[in-house]
Amino acid sequence: MADDGSAQSQNIWPLPKFYFQVDGLGGGVGNYFHEVSGLDTESQPIEYRHGNSPVFSPIKMPGLQKVGNVTLKKGIFVKDNKFWAWYSTIKMNTMQRQTVVIKLLDESGAPTMTWTLNNAWPTKIQGTDLKADGNEAAIETIELAYETLVVANG
């Protein structure tokens, strides 16, 4: 009798990355994104050597944490210009900051991993390229700067 895989644990296989949801950007059509990239963080190393160290090399300690910008790509829909409206609110540090939650979903639509971008605001918006002989969907890009990244399971 052949093994149909039903006896295997659901935790063996990694999750596919194509089923995700973005919340916190005004709801509605804006939640359907084509691509999300740039979910990274790093700790900048601090090199230190105390004066009476017998070793002639510094030790490395974790320093400030730094996050990059997140890039979101989505299709352009009829009468949907909320990203441009959000971008136009930027005036000398008085922009509207938002909490953006990116969720990786399982087959049933339940979140299995979430990335929360705190105090996010748009730094760059790029409209679609236009071609008379093109047949692709119109895609716009928004780049978000944020202060902290919180990663959680479930």
Assess if residue 52 is contained within a domain: no
* Residue ranges making up the domain that contains 132: 20-43+63-153
What CATH number has the domain bearing residue 114? 2.30.110.20
For the entire predicted model, the pTM comes to: 0.79
Assess if residue 77 is contained within a domain: yes
In this predicted structure, what is the pLDDT of residue 28?
47
* Mean pLDDT across 37-43: 92
* Mean pLDDT across 92-113: 87
Count of the separate structural domains present in the chain:
1
Assess if residue 11 is contained within a domain: no
Assess if residue 91 is contained within a domain: yes
Assess if residue 103 is contained within a domain: yes
In this predicted structure, what is the pLDDT of residue 29?
45
Assess if residue 123 is contained within a domain: yes
In this predicted structure, what is the pLDDT of residue 12?
72
* Mean pLDDT across 80-109: 84
Helix count (H) and strand count (E) of the chain? 1, 9
Assess if residue 2 is contained within a domain: no
* Mean pLDDT across 44-65: 90
The 10s digit of each residue's pLDDT in 119-136 is: 999 999 998 889 899 888
Structure confidence at residue 89 as a pLDDT band (50, 70, 90) = confident
* Mean pLDDT across 12-24: 83
DSSP 77-146: -TT--HHHHHHTT-STT----EEEEEEEE-TTS-EEEEEEEEEEEEEEEE-----TT--SPPEEEEEEE-
